[in-house]
Amino acid sequence: MTAPTIVAALLAVTIAALITTLITMLSRPLLQRYALARPNARSSHRIPTPQGAGIAVISATLIVALALATWGDFSIPPALVIATIVIALVGFADDIVSLPVLVRLLLQAACVGAVVFTAPDDARLVPELPLALERGLILLAGVWFVNLVNFMDGLDLMTVAEVVPVTAALLLLALFGELSRPAASIAIALCGAMLGFAPFNRPVAKVFLGDVGSLPIGLLLGWCLLELAWHGQPAAALLLPAYYLADSTITLFRRIARRERFWSAHRTHFYQRATDNGFTVKQVIAEVFALNLVLALLAVVSVRAGSMPVTIVALFAGAIAVAFVLRRFSRPQAS
């Protein structure tokens, strides 16, 4: 880790934040007119709020990441860039006209598949499995990750509280040489873009990401974590998004077990139940952010230690921390 590298990373974060701020400010009047999210029984907001600021976040992320790649003389997979743009367009269309579920899933699967199946053949998680089977499983996991990021984007600053600690940890691991340069450039740019979006999304939010933001953020973040796993750090790749994975997956299986329409909008995620149980939005976000900092620390420790016993302890500690927060969210807050 060298001083010039750190300075370049901080400069890229700052530029991404500024680009996001500028585009968000310029686009808000149009979003207010054409992409207004009106509150309903499943919403966490109470007043009509424009959505679609993901346009600014994704634009800033791609601009800065591609600039870093050009400056550093490396390339970001073209399939990832194209898939990100396409899935953002799918999300924007859904923000405006609400696409059918099957159409959304097929388009999302096509985007994730384009990224997964164009990866190098030597990028493996379990070499004992046939390559086609492993890539098929990664495809399913990728589609789920893209959607869970979307599902969890239901509270002011929630996605910021998730993405900023995860991408900051990825940046730190990249500075230690534990992550590829393309993935590091995406993480740096996405971290800055989300910081630029944060002032507009703090309670009470002036604008939401919308599906145009949450879906491609899920794709980019999932790809960065997959790159980390491909580079021999699957435990860290699981620890970093552990809260999102636990909240959304447990909620999904609960809804399936109850024979509910699990693909429909609802208010049964743990973070949503927390607000129903007396937690304020700021309390929920603060606890999620603190949890993600703990998970990020555990992920970095597991990577730097390079020890299986340490990794097992980190995974166990991460599971306990996530379970503790989920349990708090599911119980009524004392008066």
**pTM across the whole model:** 0.94
Contact 201, 157 (CB under 8 A): yes
CA 11 to chain centre: 22
pLDDT band at 266 (very low <50, low <70, confident <90, very high): confident
Query: pLDDT class for 36, splitting at 50, 70, 90?
Result: low
Burial (0-12, 13-18, 19+ Cβ within 10 Å), 102 = exposed
Distances (CA, A) of 242 to 51, 181, 265, 323: 27, 24, 22, 10
What average pLDDT does the segment 11-25 reach? 97
Q: Which amino acid is at 150?
A: N
Q: For residue 20, name the pLDDT band (cuts at 50, 70, 90).
A: very high
Provide the 3-class DSSP secondary structure of residue 51: strand
Give the whole-number percent of the chain exceeding pLDDT 90: 79
Cα first-last separation, the chain: 48
Alpha-carbon distance values, 300 to 155, 165, 225, 303 (Å): 28, 12, 13, 5
Round the CA-based radius of gyration of the chain to a whole number and report it. Answer: 19
| Number of H-type helices and E-type strands within the chain | 13, 2
Is residue 229 very low, low, confident or very high in pLDDT (cuts 50, 70, 90)? very high
Q: Give tens-digit pLDDT for 48-89.
A: 788 899 999 999 999 999 999 999 999 999 999 999 999 999
Dihedral over Cα of 179, 183, 185, 186: its sign: negative
Q: Looking at residue 50, what is its pLDDT?
A: 86
